[in-house]
Structure 1
């Protein structure tokens, strides 16, 4: 019974080989969690409602994006060691993707005056991080996906985040001013 659970439930989620891509995910997860701690506890410029909303919005984008783009029938790319979900994918989808965008949006709230420039720079940062993950740590394996698709996707994601944040901020400000 325990052997069946291990073989059919646990083993398929474990890395085939614990190598550079797992270490990369662990290190980046620690960095992102440190960044989240910094922007939520030490240098907060966003309301808790904004922080949670941005995080959940991007968690949803990451989950849906990977579900539709990395799974059949499209199967554009694979992450880490397997062509289906693996333990490290949990960290990628639930911490790294939404946490990195949350950090960028905190910067947007604090420093940005030019939305277009922010979107371009953020998409470039996300693209560079993906490029590092691919070429130095073998984090992704493109099947039919191309790197420039990722850049276009990041432009879309960051545009949606700016739009979402601006609408959320306007809504919250109207609620706060009415109370």
Structure 2
């Protein structure tokens, strides 16, 4: 078991970043026209959190332990709030997919664009101290993770909410 690493012990930039990103992007959801049923909205918000938790708890804990979240290497209460930050990204990912009517080969380009946006947000998160890389972990290692996560998210959304599936009933 490794010792606890303390990166910070104040409520400051990294916590305000998490709060700001969450509030701004959730407020935008409220302000934009509704495109989804309550079930679809809930699905898209929760899938962002769930997929974030799965991958963070796969590669950010032993045996991999590639990075830490928040002010310490031990999980603290506020670290749980940082996962809420993923919720609006799950929503916006599908919102723009549907709004722009992405299909076919453009789906690959769309996932690549969102991977770029995700890398940008992760970079900002590292800059403000939300994430702390350990050992030899580098930002570009997250690219395949985002490609997989967004493909899984889109696949699950399309499977669960396929128009043809609901027309047959």
SS in 1 for 2:161: helix
Query: Structure 1: any 5+ residue segments left out of the alignment?
Result: 1-14
Q: Kindly state the Cα deviation for residue 55 of structure 1 after the two structures are TM-superposed.
A: 2.3
TM-score, normalisation: structure 2: 0.84
Q: Kindly state the Cα deviation for residue 132 of structure 1 after the two structures are TM-superposed.
A: 1.2
Render the CA deviation track for 1:155-176: whole Å, top value 9, x for unaligned.
Answer: 1111111211221221x5423x
Q: Kindly state the Cα deviation for residue 111 of structure 1 after the two structures are TM-superposed.
A: 0.6
Task: Give me the whole-angstrom Cα distance separating, in 2, the residues matched to 1:73 and 1:174.
Answer: 41
1:96-135 map, 5 Å: 96-113=85-102, 114-135=106-127
CA contact 1:78–1:140 (8 Å) conserved in 2: yes
Which is richer in helix? 1
The answer to whether residue 41 in structure 2 is matched with residue 51 in structure 1 is: yes
Task: Give me the whole-angstrom Cα distance separating, in 2, the residues matched to 1:89 and 1:141.
Answer: 13
SS in 2 for 1:141: strand
Aligned CA RMSD, in angstroms, stands at 1.8
The answer to whether residue 132 in structure 2 is matched with residue 141 in structure 1 is: yes
The aligned residue for residue 29 of structure 2 is 36
Task: Give me the whole-angstrom Cα distance separating, in 1, the residues matched to 2:79 and 2:96.
Answer: 26
Task: Give me the whole-angstrom Cα distance separating, in 1, the residues matched to 2:66 and 2:45.
Answer: 25
Structure 1 moving runs of 4+ over 4 Å: none
Render the CA deviation track for 1:99-157: whole Å, top value 9, x for unaligned.
Answer: 2121121111111422011100111001101111212x122110132211112211111
Query: Do the aligned partners of residues 91 and 112 (structure 1) sit closer, same or farther apart at CA in structure 2, a change above 3 Å counting?
Result: farther
Q: Kindly state the Cα deviation for residue 50 of structure 1 after the two structures are TM-superposed.
A: 1.8
Task: Give me the whole-angstrom Cα distance separating, in 2, the residues matched to 1:53 and 1:123.
Answer: 20
SS in 2 for 1:174: helix
